Amino acid sequence: MSYWNDKIAIVTGASSGFGLVLATQLVRQGATVVLVARDEDKLEAVCDSLNSDSDSSNKGTADYFAADVTSTEDVTKLFAFVSEKHGRLDLLVNNAGLSARGRIEETSLDDFAKMIELNVMAVVRCSQAAIPLLRKSKGHLVNIGSLASKSASKFIGPYATTKFAVAGLTHQLRLELAEDGIHVMLVCPGPITRSDSGSRYNDQAAELPAEIRKPGAGVKIKTLCPEKLAADILTACEKRKSELVRPSKAKILFAIAQLSPAWGDWVLKKFSSSKNCQSSGH
Ligand SMILES: NC(=O)c1ccc[n+]([C@@H]2O[C@H](COP(=O)([O-])OP(=O)(O)OC[C@H]3O[C@@H](n4cnc5c(N)ncnc54)[C@H](OP(=O)(O)O)[C@@H]3O)[C@@H](O)[C@H]2O)c1
């Protein structure tokens, strides 16, 4: 029987993209998953499809709650709903997040604040709301960061700023919640394969080198298979690992950059396809 059988999970940003892939695997492994996003119609359609999925012998349930994780009112209602309907929480995955391309100098303060609100403050908000429930279950809190949580990048706008913050926040949570038996894990993935890879940032990156529009923003790095990444996350979670980095060889870059930022920048440049860009992550 799967470790996730009969567990109750919340995945934010789960109506599409990587969050949906992760939620799907949890359901297939027997968990009851509350998928969270803003568009209720899309959530309902996705849950109907997951609940009629016959491709599993060990099947859980997909439930949903429409919420904007940047709203304290919505998040309060989400956790009240989970408590009342499901009675417990074993896993929170803070997955909802926004990326961008652009120069910091040209990024408006409004756009910067918007990204901080979703990528950082929403993670704080959902984590705070989940802690009392996770304390009871001795469950798992997983924050989806990026390679850009560890290695600063060029032309990905405020994204690296917010993902470094997610790494710091996750470290603090890990230290503070260990004595309560809550497992806290940071996930640092490189670019994930998706249907709109390569065209997603066309509007934003019009003035920047063409490589910046590609997954990885110019770094020569293979995109990750989302299903494999989701499986790795669930296994690492079950083993209560502190951190998961994919591809794992990126840890070498992180170590070099810690020892010497200049060496780290040199390595990034060497693996970038343009002299004008040095970047990693999303
Ligand atoms: N994609 C990559 O290559 C990559 C690489 C490294 C790390 N990551 C990280 O992985 C996570 C997922 O990335 P992704 O590319 O799969 O994301 P995505 O496709 O852009 O995420 C879309 C999902 O997030 C929901 N969402 C957006 N804003 C929301 C809000 N305010 N409240 C609630 N839900 C919201 C969307 O639904 P609604 O619009 O209906 O709300 C949808 O379900 C992010 O944290 C990202 O930084 C991604």
* pLDDT (tens digit per residue) in 265-282: 999 888 876 443 333 446
- Catalytic site residue from 3, 64, 159, 201: 159
Measured from the CB, is residue 237 less than 6 Å from ligand 1? no
Would you say 146 and 170 are in contact if contact means Cβ atoms under 8 Å apart?
no
Q: Which of these, 95, 102, 125, 104, lies nearest to 33 by C-alpha position?
A: 95
CATH (domain of 91): 3.40.50.720
Report the domain count for the chain: 1
Regarding beta strands 243-246 and 91-94, do their DSSP bridges make them parallel or antiparallel, or are they unpaired?
A: unpaired
Residue nearest atom 36 of ligand 1, based on CA coordinates: 13
Residue 277 lies in a domain: no
The predicted model gives 61-90 an average pLDDT of 98
Residue 77 lies in a domain: yes
Residue that wins the pLDDT comparison between 197 and 75? 75
pLDDT at 269: 86
Choice between 233 and 270, residue whose per-residue pLDDT is larger? 233
Q: In terms of DSSP H, where are the helices of 38-196?
A: 40-51, 72-86, 109-116, 122-137, 159-177
Pocket test for ligand 1, best of 11, 33, 35, 38 (most atoms within 8 A of CB): 38
- Please report whether residue 2 resides in a domain: no
- Told to judge if 159 belongs to the known catalytic residues of this protein, a careful annotator would answer yes
Residue 145 lies in a domain: yes
Residue 125 inside a domain? The answer is: yes
Say if 89 falls within a structural domain.
Answer: yes
The answer to whether residue 240 sits within a structural domain is yes
Is 1 contained in some domain?
Answer: no
Say whether pLDDT at 216 is over 80.
Answer: no
pLDDT number for residue 199: 66
Between helix 226-238 and helix 17-28 the angle, nearest 10°, is 60
Q: What is the pLDDT of residues 30-51, one digit of tens each?
A: 999 999 999 999 999 999 999 9
Tell me which residue range forms the domain holding 26.
8-270
